[in-house]
Amino acid sequence: MPPSTDAEQRHHAHLTRLQAAYDEILTRCGYDGVAIYSGAPRTLFGDDQESSFAAYGHFVHWTGAAQNAHDWLFVLLGQGPRWYYHAPADFWHLPTPPPTGVLAERLSPEPLRDGLGMPLPPGDSQRLAVLGDVAGLALPQGVICNPPDLIAALDELRLYKDEHERDALRTANRWALAGHAAAREAFLAGAGELDIQLAYLAASRQRESHVPYQNIVGINQHAGTLHYQHYDITPPTRANALLVDAGHRHAGYCADITRTAAGAAADPLFTTLIEGVSRYQQRLIARLAPNVEFVELHREMHWHLATLLAETGLFKGSAEAAVAGGLTRAFCPHGLGHSLGVQVHDVGGRQANASGALLPPPDEDPALRFTRHLDVGMVVTIEPGLYIIPMLLEPFRQGETRHSVDWQTVDRLADHGGIRIEDNVYITAHGHDNLTRGGRHDDD
């Protein structure tokens, strides 16, 4: 066998780490083993077509195989993992090919040739947990389905990424950035949303059903709908703004990047606001290190936003007043960021520890998905925004802010939609590593 590369060694180390962690967690929670189901695509009601699909995160954590449906991964105490991959003899579809390389060496893959049920566990497992979307599947008697204690402990494990996972996230970022460059170029050349989406997919080398989340491609006021879900076929008559929030999946791991561009017809103030949000996004990233409280950083985002609103004259009061009166939350109603991994909104961000004790977000920030202190190995997105969302700003047109907001300018910017700038950052022992911009700021 040829000597393994550094990447292969890190992949081996990842699987060794998972094996040790699973053994410890299964023992602590009192299970002999766990069978993880990858899941299955839904069949559309009254139809024979299937929706697009992504496998269950705990399955992808081991296999990286985000597209494999009907697979099972068994981890039994004291035994190596065993991957049953669904590969029936089929002339309608291409059967899943056998895993190769490190996965083949470490996960003892075996094809499942017929049926869609759970294979019988090898050996004598008294207390077997089953994880995944198993509703409607015939399961052996006595198995324990989706026990919350086990899921909380495994979610906690998912929060901490090792070097293999960091590599995969960095590679996913590189591909996504190629897509973002092509999207921007297409916009500046006059393309509309659909053609920008196609340019993104082509440059990032992915088919639409395999992206980690539906690409958000919003021109002009569409940039102000946080998860805008359509693609206009015709190009805009005036190109004010483009917001693209789009990623890539590599070896199971997701990039989640947002960029905003001003178009040829943009108001100069919009360009100033993009520069302002970009600047404080980088200042927030500069703060990332172990022990930093993410809720506090989210509050800092509101201070930066308030300062920008005041500096540009959009708000004619103090930054304190803009935050205290709730105005900044109308301009940016979402959280600063979230955990990122084999799911774009990865698990574990709102629990205190492996017990699963809840860490809910503050009342004024219900959309914040990450409420923990940062720690080495966590990967978070940092994605401040500034949007003109009429339904959220409407209440501020009355009352105390009636005269302190420059409503004329706000209305002028409404057909620019909004701004979001999003990077993906790994927390190191003494700082952070921005996987999106290739910069490390630590002394590791």
351 - beta bridge partners? Answer: 358
Ramachandran bin of 427, using left for φ above 0, alpha for ψ from -120 to 50, beta for the remaining angles: beta
Size of the site for Mn ion (CB under 5 A): 5
Nearer to ligand GLY, 12 or 329 (CB): 329
Quote the least distance from Cβ 436 to Mn ion, whole Å: 11
CA distance 14 to 354: 19
Which tokens hold the place of 8? 């292969």
Phi–psi pair at 264, nearest 5 degrees: -60, -30
Ramachandran bin of 190, using left for φ above 0, alpha for ψ from -120 to 50, beta for the remaining angles: left
CA distance 278 to 365: 22
Task: Give the helix ranges, DSSP H, for 64-211.
Answer: 101-106, 148-159, 163-188, 193-203
Nearer to ligand GLY, 86 or 369 (CB): 369
Quote the least distance from Cβ 181 to Mn ion, whole Å: 17
CA distance 123 to 125: 6
Q: Which does 213 bind (CB under 5 to 8 A by kind): Mn ion, ligand GLY, none?
A: ligand GLY
DSSP structural state of residue 439: E
According to the binding rule CB under 5 A, does residue 256 interact with Mn ion? yes
Is residue 231 within 8 Å of residue 262, measured between CB atoms? no
400 - beta bridge partners? Answer: none
Quote the least distance from Cβ 282 to Mn ion, whole Å: 17
Quote the least distance from Cβ 190 to ligand GLY, whole Å: 26
Quote the least distance from Cβ 272 to ligand GLY, whole Å: 24
Nearer to ligand GLY, 327 or 344 (CB): 344
Which of 221, 260, 381, 424 touches Mn ion (CB under 5 A)? 381
Nearer to ligand GLY, 365 or 383 (CB): 383
DSSP structural state of residue 39: -
CA distance 441 to 157: 25
Quote the least distance from Cβ 218 to ligand GLY, whole Å: 12
CA distance 101 to 30: 33
Nearer to ligand GLY, 214 or 272 (CB): 214
Nearer to Mn ion, 107 or 219 (CB): 219
Q: Which does 182 bind (CB under 5 to 8 A by kind): ligand GLY, Mn ion, none?
A: none
Nearer to ligand GLY, 169 or 344 (CB): 344
Nearer to ligand GLY, 317 or 384 (CB): 384
Q: What is the dihedral of CA 76, 79, 85, 88, to 10 degrees?
A: -100
Range 106-165, binding Mn ion (CB under 5 A): none
222, burial (CB in 10 Å: exposed 0-12, middle 13-18, buried 19+): buried
Q: Which does 339 bind (CB under 5 to 8 A by kind): Mn ion, ligand GLY, none?
A: none
Which of 71, 245, 346, 423 touches Mn ion (CB under 5 A)? 245
The residue number with the shortest CB distance to ligand GLY is: 245
Residues that bind ligand GLY (CB under 6 A): 213, 245, 256, 338, 344, 383, 422
According to the binding rule CB under 5 A, does residue 424 interact with Mn ion? no
Residues that bind Mn ion (CB under 5 A): 245, 256, 258, 381, 422
